[in-house]
Structure 1
Amino acid sequence: MAIAFDGKYFMQNDPAISILACLLLVTLYVGGLYVWSSNKGRNDPQTIKYRSFSVCFVSLISPTFVYVLSPTQLLDKVSIFKLIGVHFDGILLSATIPLAVTFVLFLGPIMVKICSGKYSVGIDIDIFSLRTLVIAPFCEEFTFRACMMPIMLQSFSIPQSCIISSLLFGIGHFHHIYSRLKDGLELKSAIIVSLFQFSYTTIFGIYSAYLFTRTGHFIAPLLAHSFCNFMGVPDIQELYKYEGFRRTALVICYFIGLFGWIYLIKTAFQPNVYNNYLYT
């Protein structure tokens, strides 16, 4: 039992209904990217604008799924905004602690960027950075976490909900195979790249869903997602550019970041710290 309020638990939806509803959300989200007929690539500014409009529209209607599938007894006790993690109770800690913990995880890659001279505090504000750092994190987290998790949690336990919703999140990225084929990539290479993308998006999805259920806030996975997009997937091969003490120090930073994150993820996300008494 996952959703609790005033000591009462609410899990009454048929698991098949919850999964079908979430599959429909995935279909609407991905399908919205292709409703605009265009021969231009995904990085074309006009394509980005059209797709941004589509995913924002899907995000706007996503709470409807939560409202329709939530039992009346639950909605009588807690608002729909509380269910999807959009509220002010505990928001400051929810915005800062998860982001700081995620920063610790990326300690190694951050130090590599600093040593290579690629680190920059400033961000060029253009349509590409807006898509990567604002629109994509907001719409994906709102749809796949803030709206999908409350649906899943009424049929599955928290661990099960995190895994299932994250698998759907990873599967939702397979549509990039089509874009890669259009860009001239061979089918085998496109599938391999997409399988790798499926792997890391699913793993991140589990972490993001965990942040949502522990804090009860949408802003926690949102900021973590934006930061991860800013950092990108860590490139371990960068370490081979350095020798001797510098390489050793950077490897140590990777391990400090990883083990520090493992320690913090067990201690920094107690629900009561964030006044989260809903998802317990």
Structure 2
Amino acid sequence: MSAADDEAVYFSKTEDPFNSVTGFCWLSVIFCFLLACSYVGSLYVWKNDQPRDHPDVIRRRFTSVLIVSALSPLIIWVWREATGFKPGTPLLALMGIRFEGIVLACLLPLLLTMVLFLGPLVQLVLDCPWDFSDGLKVILDSQFWVLCLSDMRWLRNQVVAPLTEELVFRACMLPMLIPCTGLGYAIFTCPLFFGVAHFHHVIEQLRFRQGTIAGIFLSAAFQFSYTAVFGAYTAFIFIRTGHLIGPVLCHSFCNYMGFPAICAAFEHPRKITIFSFYFLGMVLFIMLLYPMTDSVFFGDPPACRLVKASAALSLCS
């Protein structure tokens, strides 16, 4: 980043944003909390007696979360006006909505995530009854995609949830948190809102008695843990690439794969092969994490302009 970039962010009242007062940070947290509550609260504006996977429930929730997501940039604008914080970058660019490097922003983060899931992917291939040509025929069959698009659960898990959650919990929250916390802390602070937001599943599980109380809360704690870790990963991808599309595609892929079936792998007749690919995937992921998210592929990440150039070197260079 250049010296000019170091001055790209300023307060309208001649205050130094990099020495911002505690009130500014609290206001940023409050706006993020407001976003999280709006997103989760929108799921419960509809009165219904069906579980969350019922098609009618999913349709209603599509409406509410899409409205909240469409209005979420307005929250950033209000935050900016309330704090006097004036980034020297267009709002949409800060939210990762830009065209520079977009093709590689679609491909590289997704490939990196597939490397991390190398073990589960090999496990899936070994258990798949189809050969490669059969699988290719299915993927290229238009009827297959018609069925997917008509399936409310598929639309929720692969399209609407990844798009709206990444927009609200990454693209809108990170630009508000980064000027206050810095890049590193923002990566680990932002996912806390994302993880806590998933606790709302406890309400439905208790309501429909989908397990014991202890089991439900244990499951919620486990879900909070892995969603927070996943949120940190997509926040990292968002900051490094400066694009929203990468986190959305990674989110969709992870929703499809689910949590790795490690217990099933232990009982698999080819468990040595599977665990070898688990290990290889993790090693390659660590080796490729920074090279495959290098800004040379995507252009200067807009989020990195929200901190001093010296503070951005570790994540933005």
Q: TM-score range by the shorter chain?
A: over 0.9
Q: How does 1:231-270 map to 2 (within 5 A)?
A: 231-243=257-269, 246-270=270-294
- Report the alpha carbon displacement of residue 69 of structure 1 after superposing the two structures with TM: 2.3
TM-score by length of 2: 0.82
Residue matched to 1:7: 6
Read off the aligned partner of 1:6 and give its amino acid letter. D
Superposed CA RMSD in Å reads: 2.0
Indicate if the aligned counterparts of 2:35 and 2:72 stay in contact, CA closer than 8 A: yes
Q: CA 1:268/1:102 → structure 2, altered by over 3 Å: closer, same or farther? A: same
Residue matched to 1:113: 124
Read off the aligned partner of 1:111 and give its amino acid letter. V
User: How many residues in Structure 1 have an aligned counterpart in Structure 2?
Assistant: 275
- Report the alpha carbon displacement of residue 73 of structure 1 after superposing the two structures with TM: 7.0
Read off the aligned partner of 1:54 and give its amino acid letter. S
- Report the alpha carbon displacement of residue 266 of structure 1 after superposing the two structures with TM: 2.5
Task: Write out per-residue CA displacement over residues 104-154 of structure 1, whole angstroms, 9 at most, x where no aligned residue.
Answer: 000100111111127866464111100000000000000001111111112
Residue matched to 1:205: 231
Residue matched to 1:189: 215
1:131 corresponds, among 156, 159, 162, to: 156
Q: How does 1:1-280 map to 2 (within 5 A)?
A: 6-8=5-7, 10=9, 11=17, 12=20, 14-70=24-80, 74-75=86-87, 77-117=88-128, 122=139, 124-125=147-148, 126-184=151-209, 185-243=211-269, 246-280=270-304
Pick which of 187-196 and 267-276 moved more.
267-276
Indicate if the aligned counterparts of 1:5 and 1:277 stay in contact, CA closer than 8 A: no
Take 1:154 and 1:228, find their aligned partners in 2: how far apart are those partners?
29
- Report the alpha carbon displacement of residue 167 of structure 1 after superposing the two structures with TM: 0.6
Read off the aligned partner of 1:8 and give its amino acid letter. E
Read off the aligned partner of 2:287 and give its amino acid letter. Y
Indicate if the aligned counterparts of 1:144 and 1:165 stay in contact, CA closer than 8 A: yes
TM-score by length of 1: 0.92
Q: Secondary structure at the match of 1:70?
A: helix
Indicate if the aligned counterparts of 2:239 and 2:301 stay in contact, CA closer than 8 A: no
Q: Secondary structure at the match of 1:175?
A: helix
Task: Write out per-residue CA displacement over residues 24-47 of structure 1, whole angstroms, 9 at most, x where no aligned residue.
Answer: 001100000001011111011110
Take 1:136 and 1:248, find their aligned partners in 2: how far apart are those partners?
35
Q: Secondary structure at the match of 1:153?
A: helix
Pick which of 177-186 and 29-38 moved more.
177-186
Task: Write out per-residue CA displacement over residues 73-132 of structure 1, whole angstroms, 9 at most, x where no aligned residue.
Answer: 745x32111111111011111111000000100010011111112786646411110000
Which protein has the bigger helix share? 2
Take 1:82 and 1:142, find their aligned partners in 2: how far apart are those partners?
13
Q: Secondary structure at the match of 2:173?
A: helix
Indicate if the aligned counterparts of 2:101 and 2:299 stay in contact, CA closer than 8 A: yes
Indicate if the aligned counterparts of 1:111 and 1:253 stay in contact, CA closer than 8 A: yes
Q: Secondary structure at the match of 2:37?
A: helix
Read off the aligned partner of 2:261 and give its amino acid letter. D
Read off the aligned partner of 1:155 and give its amino acid letter. C
Indicate if the aligned counterparts of 1:112 and 1:238 stay in contact, CA closer than 8 A: no
Task: Write out per-residue CA displacement over residues 203-231 of structure 1, whole angstroms, 9 at most, x where no aligned residue.
Answer: 00000000000000000100000000011
Take 1:58 and 1:80, find their aligned partners in 2: how far apart are those partners?
17
Residue matched to 2:310: none
Indicate if the aligned counterparts of 1:18 and 1:152 stay in contact, CA closer than 8 A: yes
Take 1:133 and 1:277, find their aligned partners in 2: how far apart are those partners?
26
